[in-house]
Amino acid sequence: MNWDALKSHHRARGACRILDLFQDQGRAADFSVRACDMLFDYSKTDIDVRARDLLVQLADASGLAERRAAMFCGQRINETEDRAVLHTALRNPDGDALVDGEPVAPGVRDTLDRMARFSDDLRIGRIRAPGGGRYSDVVNIGIGGSDLGPAMAVGALAPYTDRLRCHFVSNVDGAHIHDITRGLNPAATLVIVASKTFTTIETMTNAATARDWIAAKVGADLAGGHFVALSSSLTKTAQFGIDETRVFGFEDWVGGRYSMWGPIGLGLMLAIGAGNFRDFLAGAAAMDAHFCSAEGARNMPLMLALVGIWHNQICGHATRAVLPYDQRLARLPAYLQQLEMESNGKRVAMDGQDLPCHSGPVVWGEPGTNGQHAFYQLIHQGTRMVPCEFMVAREGHEPDLAHQHRLLVANCLAQSEALLRGRSLDQARERIAGRYDGDELERQARHRVFPGNRPSTTLVYPKLTPRMLGQIIALYEHRVFAEGVILGINSFDQWGVELGKELAVALAPLLTGEATAEAKDGSTRQLLDYLTSKD
Task: Tell me which of 154-158, 255-259, 327-331 is least confident.
Answer: 255-259
Q: So what's the pLDDT on residue 117? A: 98
Q: So what's the pLDDT on residue 419? A: 98
Higher pLDDT, 329 or 1: 329
Question: Which tens digits make up the pLDDT trace of 194-219?
Answer: 999 999 999 999 999 999 999 999 99
Question: Which tens digits make up the pLDDT trace of 344-373?
Answer: 999 999 999 999 889 999 999 999 999 999
Q: So what's the pLDDT on residue 514? A: 85
The pTM is what? 0.95
At 496, the pLDDT band (50, 70, 90 cuts) reads: confident
* Statement: residue 323 has pLDDT above 80: yes
87-278 and 496-532 have identical folds: no
* CATH domain 2-11+21-61+295-420+455-493 topology: Rossmann fold (3.40.50)
Domain 496-532 has CATH 1.10.1390: yes
At 2, the pLDDT band (50, 70, 90 cuts) reads: confident
Q: What residues contact residue 470 under an 8 Å CB cut-off, 6+ apart? A: 91, 279, 280, 281, 282, 283, 284, 285, 286, 287
Closest CA relative to residue 370, chosen from 413, 412, 406: 412
| Contacts for 112-121: CB closer than 8 Å, 24+ residues apart | 112/262, 112/278, 114/248, 115/248, 115/263, 115/266, 115/269, 115/274, 116/269, 116/274, 116/277, 116/278, 118/228, 118/246, 118/248, 118/266, 119/266, 119/269, 119/270, 119/273, 119/274, 119/277, 120/273, 120/274
Q: So what's the pLDDT on residue 33? A: 98
At 60, the pLDDT band (50, 70, 90 cuts) reads: very high
Q: Which CATH architecture has domain 87-278?
A: 3-Layer(aba) Sandwich (3.40)
Give percent above pLDDT 90 in the chain: 88
Number of Cβ within 10 Å of residue 147's Cβ equals 25
Average pLDDT of the residues in 301-325: 97
User: SS3 string of 396-447?
Assistant: CCCHHHHHHHHHHHHHHHHHHHHHHHCECHHHHHHHHCCCCCHHHHHHHHHH
Return mean pLDDT, the chain. Answer: 95
Q: Annotated active-site positions, please? A: 342, 373, 501
Q: At what angle do helices 49-61 and 466-487 cross, to 10 degrees?
A: 80
Break the chain into its structural domains and give their ranges.
Answer: 2-11+21-61+295-420+455-493, 87-278, 422-451, 496-532
At 1, the pLDDT band (50, 70, 90 cuts) reads: low
Distances (CA, A) of 160 to 125, 165, 283, 475: 19, 12, 16, 22
* Statement: residue 519 has pLDDT above 90: no
